[in-house]
Structure 1
Amino acid sequence: MADRGDLGWRVMAGAAAFAGGFVAKKAIAFAWKKSTGKEPPTNPESPEVELKEAIGWVVVMGIGMELARLLATRAAAKQWAKGTGELPSHLKTEV
Protein backbone atom coordinates (compact mmCIF):
# COMPACT_ATOMS: atom_id res chain seq x y z
CA MET A 1 0.00 0.00 0.00
CA ALA A 2 1.26 3.47 -0.85
CA ASP A 3 2.20 5.73 2.04
CA ARG A 4 0.83 9.28 2.29
CA GLY A 5 3.96 10.81 0.79
CA ASP A 6 3.85 8.51 -2.21
CA LEU A 7 0.14 9.14 -2.72
CA GLY A 8 0.63 12.89 -2.32
CA TRP A 9 3.42 12.86 -4.86
CA ARG A 10 1.35 10.87 -7.34
CA VAL A 11 -1.53 13.33 -7.04
CA MET A 12 0.78 16.35 -7.38
CA ALA A 13 2.70 14.89 -10.33
CA GLY A 14 -0.52 13.82 -12.06
CA ALA A 15 -2.05 17.27 -11.68
CA ALA A 16 1.14 18.94 -12.95
CA ALA A 17 1.33 16.60 -15.97
CA PHE A 18 -2.35 17.17 -16.75
CA ALA A 19 -1.99 20.96 -16.57
CA GLY A 20 1.22 20.87 -18.60
CA GLY A 21 -0.42 18.70 -21.24
CA PHE A 22 -3.45 20.97 -21.47
CA VAL A 23 -1.30 24.06 -21.97
CA ALA A 24 1.01 22.24 -24.39
CA LYS A 25 -1.88 21.03 -26.55
CA LYS A 26 -3.23 24.58 -26.86
CA ALA A 27 0.25 25.99 -27.61
CA ILE A 28 1.06 23.27 -30.17
CA ALA A 29 -2.28 23.76 -31.95
CA PHE A 30 -1.69 27.53 -32.03
CA ALA A 31 1.85 27.09 -33.40
CA TRP A 32 0.60 24.58 -35.98
CA LYS A 33 -2.04 27.00 -37.21
CA LYS A 34 0.47 29.88 -37.35
CA SER A 35 3.09 27.85 -39.23
CA THR A 36 0.83 25.95 -41.65
CA GLY A 37 -2.06 28.38 -42.01
CA LYS A 38 -4.60 25.63 -41.29
CA GLU A 39 -6.21 23.99 -38.31
CA PRO A 40 -4.46 20.89 -36.99
CA PRO A 41 -6.04 17.61 -38.05
CA THR A 42 -8.72 16.52 -35.60
CA ASN A 43 -8.36 12.89 -36.65
CA PRO A 44 -4.96 12.13 -38.19
CA GLU A 45 -5.99 8.49 -38.67
CA SER A 46 -8.58 9.46 -41.28
CA PRO A 47 -7.65 8.69 -44.90
CA GLU A 48 -9.04 12.16 -45.75
CA VAL A 49 -6.06 13.75 -43.98
CA GLU A 50 -2.94 13.91 -46.13
CA LEU A 51 -0.36 11.40 -44.86
CA LYS A 52 2.51 13.88 -44.47
CA GLU A 53 0.22 16.23 -42.52
CA ALA A 54 -0.94 13.39 -40.26
CA ILE A 55 2.64 12.23 -39.61
CA GLY A 56 3.81 15.77 -38.97
CA TRP A 57 1.00 16.41 -36.50
CA VAL A 58 1.61 13.16 -34.63
CA VAL A 59 5.35 13.78 -34.37
CA VAL A 60 4.97 17.40 -33.24
CA MET A 61 2.21 16.53 -30.79
CA GLY A 62 4.04 13.50 -29.39
CA ILE A 63 7.28 15.34 -28.78
CA GLY A 64 5.50 18.43 -27.47
CA MET A 65 3.28 16.53 -25.04
CA GLU A 66 6.13 14.42 -23.69
CA LEU A 67 8.31 17.50 -23.28
CA ALA A 68 5.49 19.26 -21.41
CA ARG A 69 5.00 16.22 -19.15
CA LEU A 70 8.72 16.06 -18.42
CA LEU A 71 9.01 19.76 -17.60
CA ALA A 72 5.85 19.76 -15.47
CA THR A 73 6.98 16.70 -13.51
CA ARG A 74 10.44 18.19 -12.92
CA ALA A 75 8.88 21.45 -11.70
CA ALA A 76 6.54 19.51 -9.41
CA ALA A 77 9.48 17.50 -8.06
CA LYS A 78 11.34 20.71 -7.21
CA GLN A 79 8.31 22.03 -5.36
CA TRP A 80 7.88 18.68 -3.60
CA ALA A 81 11.50 18.76 -2.47
CA LYS A 82 11.07 22.32 -1.18
CA GLY A 83 8.05 21.27 0.87
CA THR A 84 9.27 17.92 2.16
CA GLY A 85 13.03 18.37 2.16
CA GLU A 86 13.63 15.51 -0.27
CA LEU A 87 12.74 14.28 -3.71
CA PRO A 88 10.25 11.44 -4.17
CA SER A 89 12.16 8.18 -3.73
CA HIS A 90 11.94 7.06 -7.36
CA LEU A 91 13.42 10.36 -8.59
CA LYS A 92 16.53 10.27 -6.44
CA THR A 93 19.75 9.56 -8.27
CA GLU A 94 22.24 7.23 -6.70
CA VAL A 95 25.62 8.71 -5.95
Structure 2
Amino acid sequence: MADKGDFGWRIMAGAAAFAGGFIAKKAITVAWKKSTGKEPPTHPESPEVALTEAIGWAVIMGVGMELTRLLVTRAAAKQWAKGTGELPAQLKADV
Protein backbone atom coordinates (compact mmCIF):
# COMPACT_ATOMS: atom_id res chain seq x y z
CA MET A 1 0.00 0.00 0.00
CA ALA A 2 1.22 3.49 -0.81
CA ASP A 3 2.29 5.67 2.09
CA LYS A 4 1.08 9.25 2.71
CA GLY A 5 4.10 10.78 0.99
CA ASP A 6 3.47 8.70 -2.12
CA PHE A 7 -0.19 9.71 -2.14
CA GLY A 8 0.68 13.37 -1.62
CA TRP A 9 3.19 13.27 -4.46
CA ARG A 10 0.66 11.66 -6.79
CA ILE A 11 -1.88 14.39 -6.02
CA MET A 12 0.70 17.16 -6.50
CA ALA A 13 2.11 15.69 -9.74
CA GLY A 14 -1.37 15.01 -11.12
CA ALA A 15 -2.55 18.55 -10.42
CA ALA A 16 0.60 20.02 -11.97
CA ALA A 17 0.28 17.83 -15.07
CA PHE A 18 -3.41 18.70 -15.46
CA ALA A 19 -2.79 22.44 -15.18
CA GLY A 20 0.23 22.28 -17.45
CA GLY A 21 -1.67 20.23 -20.03
CA PHE A 22 -4.57 22.67 -20.03
CA ILE A 23 -2.27 25.64 -20.58
CA ALA A 24 -0.17 23.79 -23.17
CA LYS A 25 -3.22 22.82 -25.23
CA LYS A 26 -4.37 26.44 -25.30
CA ALA A 27 -0.89 27.69 -26.25
CA ILE A 28 -0.42 25.05 -28.97
CA THR A 29 -3.84 25.86 -30.42
CA VAL A 30 -3.04 29.59 -30.54
CA ALA A 31 0.34 28.88 -32.15
CA TRP A 32 -1.33 26.62 -34.73
CA LYS A 33 -3.87 29.32 -35.59
CA LYS A 34 -1.14 31.96 -35.96
CA SER A 35 1.14 29.79 -38.09
CA THR A 36 -1.50 28.20 -40.36
CA GLY A 37 -4.20 30.84 -40.30
CA LYS A 38 -6.91 28.30 -39.50
CA GLU A 39 -8.35 26.29 -36.64
CA PRO A 40 -6.62 23.02 -35.74
CA PRO A 41 -8.46 19.89 -36.82
CA THR A 42 -10.97 18.76 -34.20
CA HIS A 43 -11.04 15.22 -35.65
CA PRO A 44 -7.67 14.62 -37.31
CA GLU A 45 -8.56 10.96 -37.79
CA SER A 46 -11.31 11.96 -40.26
CA PRO A 47 -10.54 11.24 -43.94
CA GLU A 48 -11.88 14.74 -44.69
CA VAL A 49 -8.82 16.27 -42.99
CA ALA A 50 -5.68 16.37 -45.15
CA LEU A 51 -3.22 13.71 -44.04
CA THR A 52 -0.36 16.21 -43.77
CA GLU A 53 -2.48 18.48 -41.56
CA ALA A 54 -3.59 15.55 -39.37
CA ILE A 55 -0.04 14.27 -38.94
CA GLY A 56 1.31 17.77 -38.29
CA TRP A 57 -1.31 18.39 -35.60
CA ALA A 58 -0.71 15.00 -33.99
CA VAL A 59 3.07 15.48 -33.88
CA ILE A 60 2.92 19.04 -32.57
CA MET A 61 0.28 18.21 -29.97
CA GLY A 62 2.00 15.00 -28.86
CA VAL A 63 5.44 16.56 -28.49
CA GLY A 64 4.05 19.73 -26.91
CA MET A 65 1.94 17.89 -24.35
CA GLU A 66 4.67 15.42 -23.40
CA LEU A 67 7.28 18.15 -23.11
CA THR A 68 4.93 20.15 -20.89
CA ARG A 69 4.23 17.09 -18.71
CA LEU A 70 7.95 16.49 -18.33
CA LEU A 71 8.73 20.09 -17.40
CA VAL A 72 5.88 20.56 -14.92
CA THR A 73 6.62 17.20 -13.26
CA ARG A 74 10.27 18.18 -12.86
CA ALA A 75 9.27 21.56 -11.41
CA ALA A 76 6.83 19.87 -9.02
CA ALA A 77 9.54 17.39 -7.98
CA LYS A 78 11.92 20.25 -7.18
CA GLN A 79 9.27 21.88 -5.00
CA TRP A 80 8.48 18.53 -3.36
CA ALA A 81 12.18 17.97 -2.58
CA LYS A 82 12.46 21.50 -1.22
CA GLY A 83 9.54 20.87 1.15
CA THR A 84 10.30 17.29 2.19
CA GLY A 85 14.06 17.12 1.84
CA GLU A 86 14.01 14.32 -0.73
CA LEU A 87 12.67 13.47 -4.15
CA PRO A 88 9.58 11.27 -4.49
CA ALA A 89 10.54 7.58 -4.55
CA GLN A 90 9.37 7.18 -8.16
CA LEU A 91 11.78 9.86 -9.36
CA LYS A 92 14.98 8.83 -7.61
CA ALA A 93 17.65 8.03 -10.21
CA ASP A 94 19.04 4.51 -10.32
CA VAL A 95 22.67 5.57 -10.18
- TM-score when normalising by structure 2: 0.97
Cα distance in 2 for partners of 1:90, 1:51 equals 39
Say whether 1:34 aligns with 2:55.
Answer: no
Aligned match of 1:20: 20
Superposition deviation, residue 94 in structure 1:
3.6
The amino acid that maps onto 2:8 is G
Give the superposed CA RMSD: 0.7
Name the count of aligned residue pairs: 95
Superposition deviation, residue 92 in structure 1:
1.3
Superposition deviation, residue 13 in structure 1:
0.3
Cα distance in 2 for partners of 1:73, 1:66 equals 10
The amino acid that maps onto 2:15 is A
Aligned match of 1:78: 78
Give identity over the alignment, percent.
81
Aligned match of 1:63: 63
5+ residue gaps, structure 1: none
Superposition deviation, residue 27 in structure 1:
0.3
**Stretches of 4+ moved more than 4 A in 1?**
none
- TM-score when normalising by structure 1: 0.97
5+ residue gaps, structure 2: none
